[in-house]
Each structure stands twice: as C-alpha cells, then as structure tokens.
Amino acid sequence: MPEAANNLDAKDYGIGIPQSTEGFFLKGHSHLDWGMKDRLARIFNPKSGHTVMLAFDHGYIMGPTSGLERMDLTIVPLIPYADCLMCTRGALRQIVPPTCNKPISLRASAGSTILTDLNDECILSMEECLRLNASMVALMVAVGSTFEALTIRNLTTMVDQGSRYNVPVLGVTAVGKDLVRDARYLSLATRVCAENGAHVVKTYYCETDFEKVTAACPVPIVIAGGKKLPERDALQMAYEAIDQGAAGVDMGRNVFQAESPIAMLQAVRAVVHDGEKPEKAFEMYRQTKG
C-alpha cells in the first residue's frame, strides 16, 4: 500500500507536449472499446495491418478431411507459423496446446454437415467462448440460402453477446451449391455481415472486381483459400487479394494439403506481411521445401 506522507512531489507533467491520441489501424474500428481492440490487435499484426490465420475447422461439417485426419501430427507443427488459429472447440481442447499462446478464432456455430442441408446452425454460448479464451468468435452467415434468416439472427445474437464482453465476431460468408462466387454476390454477403455488426468478414476471392468487394465492406476482410490449388496459384490468389484490399487470409486446405505445409505457410506470410510477389514467394516455398 503506498504511503500517504513524505512522497516525492509530482513534477513531470510534459507541459507543451500534447497527449497522443492514436487512431486504430483496422478499418471501421476506431470507435471500439479497449478490450475489443486488444483482441483484434492479437489477430492482426499492427505493423503490417494483416493476418495469416490457419483454418482447420473443416471437420465440423466434413469429418476427417485430407490433411486433418490426425491434427496432432499435421496441425500442431504449423501453429508457430500462424498469427491466429481458426478451429472448433473440440479441436482446441483436444489438440491445440494451451501453451502455444496463439489467438483463437473459435468456430462458434454448428448444426449440420455435408450429408444434410448446410447452414442450419445454432451458436455456442458466449460463456463457453470466454471459457476457451477466444480472441474472436466465428459463425456462418448464409446470405441467399434457405437458412439466411436463421444465420443472420445468429450473427446479431453473437454480436450482442460479443459486445457485452468485447469479443469480436467473424462473419463467414457461406457459399452454397446454388450461389455464385462473383463480386456482386460477395459484396452483398460481406456487406450484410458488416452492417449486422461483424467485426471481420471472411469470404472468397473472386477474379473480377474483388477490389469492389473490399471497398464496399467497412470492416476488414480475410479470404478463405477454398479447394486445394497448385501452390504457385494459391500464392498468386493471396497476393491479389491483399493487393486489392483484403486484410489477410484464413486459409486451410491450401496450407495443410500442400506438399510442404510449413514452407507454404511461410510463403503465404511473405506475401501477406511483406508484400512479396507470388513468383518470389513461390521460389521461397521451393527452397524451404527442398
């Protein structure tokens, strides 16, 4: 307990030096509270403004996807190279070492699998997400699908609960069988997520007009990798997405199904954080792999 008497007099008031009033490096988030900004700054690197998230939540709808049969063997070695881990609570408790100290984007919606209609989902309680020390909670938003209203309701509920405890919400734009991944649809879906309170939106890259998708979304966008591509093409896609305004990637199959997942994740980092061109990043990949 500090003593009340005989302390040194206060004298260093910095008179004439204005107190700095920093903004915040992520778009749309200058007005968030401290805890929310702190969580986002664990996920996005404040220097580059970008993030490389590693997604391995596929099992919750797809079962043991190629590369995720034994996550203890394939995913754990990748953890040091990712900025943030996107996974289910099952994978988190079962295989992610609590000592790894990585921010978690927790898959917080569930309810259907590839064997039935996707996106008929409920959400985890915020209490459970906080128990798992999630830095962000992620849920599916299926704009244009049968379950559009349900998933948007899930989003608003999660945003209400996240706001209470300063936990940001990642809206994941689901793409159903009948929906086209073009800029028109992706702009609509990402904007719906942001307007309903998502702090970050995950979507797909599209080759035409992707910069219009990122421009019209007032919060950061991260892209999913989608199905496995040749490594060179996946690096090209990451480069173009960042170049056209994405704030990062949340990649799964293009990393853990690569011939050398660690080398691939390092090459993706070079593109996302250092702005390396795809040719250079691919050369780095080949050398590291070798």
- Chain residues binding ligand 5RP by CB under 6 A are 55, 57-58, 86, 172, 224-226, 250-254
Q: Containing H/E element for 140?
A: strand 136-141
Residue number, 40 or 172, with CB nearest to ligand 5RP: 172
Write the DSSP assignment of 183-217 as a string of letters.
Answer: HHHHHHHHHHHHHTT-SEEEE---SSSHHHHHHT-
Contact between residue 232 and residue 201 where contact means Cβ atoms under 8 Å apart = no
How near is the Cβ of 204 to ligand 5RP at its closest, in Å?
8
Q: Which amino acid is at 144?
A: G
Residue number, 228 or 277, with CB nearest to ligand 5RP: 228
d(CA 277, CA 236): 8
Is residue 233 classed as helix, strand or coil in its secondary structure? helix
For 287, the token pair is 């050398």
Q: Which residues are catalytic?
A: 202
**φ, ψ at 60 (rounded to 5°):** -70, -20
Residue number, 166 or 181, with CB nearest to ligand 5RP: 181
For 76, the token pair is 């754990």
DSSP class of residue 19 equals P
How near is the Cβ of 289 to ligand 5RP at its closest, in Å?
20
How near is the Cβ of 86 to ligand 5RP at its closest, in Å?
6
Residue number, 55 or 167, with CB nearest to ligand 5RP: 55
d(CA 170, CA 85): 13
How near is the Cβ of 263 to ligand 5RP at its closest, in Å?
17
Residue number, 90 or 226, with CB nearest to ligand 5RP: 226
d(CA 113, CA 92): 19
The owner of tokens 């080949």 is 286
How near is the Cβ of 190 to ligand 5RP at its closest, in Å?
14
